[in-house]
């Protein structure tokens, strides 16, 4: 019975995720969802991307998923993008239905890029695809170079994998080659970026990739 | 029906946790379970504690919980303590029954202190008490000073709260007073430590507290 119940939950999620994907396609919206540990810097990445891309005229909106607090939505709005805060009230991940409801408020026909930040968690969100074009996994140098081995499913799902907080590398025992080697074993086709949200290093390259993806989605 | 099923799972966990507690009491074992984000430094804390306390003659063993890999158990054994690695195979938390099974292998009558490291996750483990004497929440400076607000239940459950990676404070925008103020609102009675597993700062104080707790447990 437990198996049956879990199957129902996952099937409901898949159905909702497919509906989300269709809405993105119908509106020419590029949707990316961000996954990472608490404190890996997901919100900081969004702040940097919004600041970098807003002057280009691209219309960006954000869905923020958190167990509690509206801290992240406030940070996003301060960076200049409309944000919808989902508080899961204890739940450890977003599911696709939560995203569908937030999308109604955010009006998909007024958006070029939708960025979805999941609850800080490298495990549970992997079971719940949200229907976006790619999962963006945000790892960070202080977490250690062994995270791909310890949380393989998250990295396996990464269409984009970002190594953040590169400015701290000089203070840490972190083997960059080891990290990327394990990433490539899990996600050989992933786009990979090394960035620092503190210094801004690598943000330009990340944003170029996002713009290219956005053009592909728009042009079908 | 979903509510009923979840209630059964939680009741099973509570029953197993009570049995674990009884075993600790019967054997005079101090049991602590560590909770924290991926990369907060839980394993490094254990390595430091083992190195610091082993020369005192205290017999320490460790249960390591991970989604995948035996990296952490190997690190613990290199530090000089017997370790039992649980791989949850995708599951996002330990439950008390997993700990019970590991305890059989580790022989409780040959232990003074049992240290249990949960899966790196600030959300899901909070629903599953393991029966230990205290939860030790390991946060770290690079994760940011807002983690108590965003993951309140984890901090609320902390009998001990450790702020790790204090050596990185000079490189980060982290408000130590803000962090502890939020912690105290959530867990006013928690024991609090600032440490660095890189420099060793604060490890002596943490170990003194562990030794005091161990004496209390032994003397009933």
List pLDDT tens digits, range B144-196.
Answer: 999 999 999 999 999 999 999 999 999 999 999 999 999 999 999 999 999 99
CB contacts, 8 Å: A38 with chain B: 37, 122, 143, 147, 150-151
Which residue from B minimizes the CA distance to A87? B150
B1: confidence class by pLDDT, cuts 50, 70, 90:
very low
CB contacts, 8 Å: A119 with chain B: 123
Q: Tell whether A65 lies on the interface with B, counting CB pairs under 8 A.
A: no
Residue recorded with tokens 């129902």: A8
CB contacts, 8 Å: B67 with chain A: 123, 150-153
Q: Tell whether B169 lies on the interface with A, counting CB pairs under 8 A.
A: no
Q: B84 to chain A, minimum CA–CA distance in Å?
A: 16
Chain A interface, best mutation among B1, B85, B86, B123, by max A CB count within 10 A: B123
B3: confidence class by pLDDT, cuts 50, 70, 90:
low
Which residue from B minimizes the CA distance to A121? B121
Q: What is the ipTM of this complex?
A: 0.91
Q: B155 to chain A, minimum CA–CA distance in Å?
A: 13
A7: confidence class by pLDDT, cuts 50, 70, 90:
confident
d(Cα B155, Cα B183) in Å, to the nearest integer?
7
Q: Tell whether A92 lies on the interface with B, counting CB pairs under 8 A.
A: yes
Reduce the secondary structure of chain B to three states and give it as a string: CHHHHHHHHHHHHHHHHHHHHHHHHHHCCEEEEEEECCCCCHHHHHHHHHHHHHHHCCCEEEEEEECCCCHHHHHHHHHCCEEEEEECCCCCCCCHHHHHHHHHHHCHHHCCEEEEECCCCCCHHHHCCCCCCEEEEEEEHHHCCCHHHHCHHHHHCEEEEEEECHHHHHHCCCCHHHHHHHHHHHCCCCEEEECCCCCCCCHHHHHHHHHHHHHHHHCC
pTM of the model: 0.94
Which residue from A minimizes the CA distance to B173? A198
CB contacts, 8 Å: A153 with chain B: 67, 90
CB contacts, 8 Å: A185 with chain B: none
Q: Tell whether B5 lies on the interface with A, counting CB pairs under 8 A.
A: yes
A8: confidence class by pLDDT, cuts 50, 70, 90:
confident
For chain A, the average pLDDT equals: 95
The predicted pLDDT at position A98 comes to 96
Which residue from B minimizes the CA distance to A127? B90
For chain B, the average pLDDT equals: 95
Assess contact for A24 and A31: CB atoms under 8 A.
yes
Compute the half-sphere exposure of residue A188: CA atoms within 13 Å on the CB side of its CA: 1
Q: Tell whether B82 lies on the interface with A, counting CB pairs under 8 A.
A: no
CB contact under 8 A, B168 and A123: no
- Average of pLDDT values for B128-145? 98
d(Cα A45, Cα A154) in Å, to the nearest integer?
18
Q: B80 to chain A, minimum CA–CA distance in Å?
A: 21
The predicted pLDDT at position A29 comes to 98
- Average of pLDDT values for B184-210? 98
List pLDDT tens digits, range A27-39.
Answer: 999 999 999 999 9
How remote is the C-alpha of A48 from its chain's centroid? Answer: 14
List pLDDT tens digits, range B32-55.
Answer: 999 999 999 999 999 999 999 999
């Amino acid at each position: 019975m437990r198996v049956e119940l879990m199957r129902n939950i996952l099937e409901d999620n898949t159905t909702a995720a497919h509906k989300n994907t269709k809405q993105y396609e119908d509106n020419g919206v590029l949707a990316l969802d961000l996954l990472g540990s608490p404190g890996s810097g997901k919100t900081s990445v969004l702040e940097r991307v919004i600041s970098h891309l807003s002057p280009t005229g691209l219309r960006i909106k954000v869905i923020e998923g958190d167990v509690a607090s509206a801290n992240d939505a406030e940070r996003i709005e301060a960076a200049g993008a409309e944000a919808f805060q989902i508080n899961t009230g204890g739940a450890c991940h977003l599911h696709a239905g939560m995203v569908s409801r937030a999308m109604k408020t955010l009006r998909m026909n007024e958006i070029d890029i939708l960025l979805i930040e999941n609850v800080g968690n490298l495990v549970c969100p992997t079971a719940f695809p949200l229907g976006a074009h790619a999962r963006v996994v945000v790892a960070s140098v202080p977490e250690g170079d062994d995270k791909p081995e310890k949380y393989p499913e998250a990295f396996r799902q990464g269409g984009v994998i970002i190594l953040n907080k590169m400015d701290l590398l000089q203070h840490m025992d972190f083997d960059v080659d080891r990290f990327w080697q394990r990433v490539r074993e899990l996600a050989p086709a992933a786009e990979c970026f090394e960035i620092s949200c503190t210094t801004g290093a690598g943000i330009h390259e990340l944003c170029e990739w996002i713009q290219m993806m956005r053009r592909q989605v728009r042009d079908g």
